[in-house]
Amino acid sequence: MFEQESAQLQERIEAIQKQYQPRIDALQRRGEEMEDGFEKPSTGGAVIGVDFEVDWKQTDIVVSVPSVTVRDKKIVVSLPEVTSKPQKIAFDVPEVIMVPHVLGRKPEIHGTTIKWTNIIVSRPETRMRRKEFITDVPQVTMKTKEFVVGIPEFKMSEQRLSLKLPQFKVTDVSASIDEIQDEGEALEAEGQELGKSMQAAIELEVSRFQKIIHDSLYATQVSAGRKFDSAFTTINNAMADLQAKGCDPIKVPTESGDINLRKIYQDVVSEKTKVDAAFDAVIAN
């Protein structure tokens, strides 16, 4: 995994080194020429008759050059597998009915005849009515899934640009050795700037490579997350359907026993948190 990208990064780093090598060589030659051609200045650069000592000090400008290998890392997580099968749901629901009750009797006079009739009043009463229907109830099984992702490992080596630059010590009176000193300081500054430029070019290539790795890891995490999204949708739709039919999703009475869909949903949420944490830990490295 990522062998091609790793090889391409190494090639680009080597190309940058080759690109900068002529400029590095030119700086080193200028430093050697400065040392070889140095003579005690008598005008302009120093005061005539002033005694001084010069020490050619080795100055290193260091550029860190990475070599990269990609190590495969396994991420083992649990992903939900959702299946839905028809289940017979049966439960009792209360309903209110009006039941007639005789409160007493009242006389009705018809001519010379008295007839007693019942006084009937309807009273509300609650009774349990059996409700049955068949619907799909989701079942969630967590299955282990193994992802192999690439983790880059960098080994840093140093590329050194060495220059010999003059260090002056006046042994008689105060004097300025401006010309040769300024040339040496300019040479060192140019070398430092060259080193920074080369380092920045290498770091840009490394950051591009790391983005490829990061994007791949993120895409794998998103792929794993789709399993959870599908499970959430299925469970939510089932709970909404059951509630619309008057069944509490916390206690779904199926033929195989009661099912708590809300707990199942929360368990899947907890598993997703673990999966996200596992990927985040790898991405953060």
Q: State residue 234 phi and psi, 5-degree precision.
A: -65, -45
Amino acid identity of 178?
Answer: D
Q: Which residues touch 124 (CB under 8 Å, ≥6 apart)? A: 96, 97, 98, 99
Number of structural domains the chain divides into: 1
CA distance 6 to 194: 26
DSSP, collapsed to helix, strand or coil, labels residue 176 as coil
Confidence grade of residue 35 (pLDDT, cut at 50, 70, 90) = low
Asked if residue 40 has pLDDT above 70, the reply is no
Measure CA 230 to chain center: 21
Q: Are 75 and 150 in contact (CB under 8 A)?
A: no
pTM (global) more than 0.85: no
Q: Please state, rounded to an integer, the average pLDDT across all residues of the chain.
A: 80
Q: Tokens 């895409």 — which residue?
A: 219
Range of the domain at 162: 3-284
At residue 245, φ and ψ (nearest 5 deg) are -95, 10
DSSP 3-state assignment of 122? strand
169: pLDDT strictly greater than 70: no
| Separation of CA 131 from chain center | 49
- Give residue-wise pLDDT tens across range 227-244: 999 999 999 999 999 998
Residues 6+ apart with CB under 8 A from 276: 221, 225
Question: Residue 25 pLDDT more than 50?
Answer: yes
* Arithmetic mean of pLDDT, 265-285: 88
78-126: per-residue pLDDT in tens? Answer: 999 998 888 888 888 788 888 888 888 878 877 778 888 888 888 888 8
- The pLDDT value given to residue 79: 93
Distance CA 200, CA 194 (A): 10
Give per-residue pLDDT as tens, 195-204: 888 888 888 8
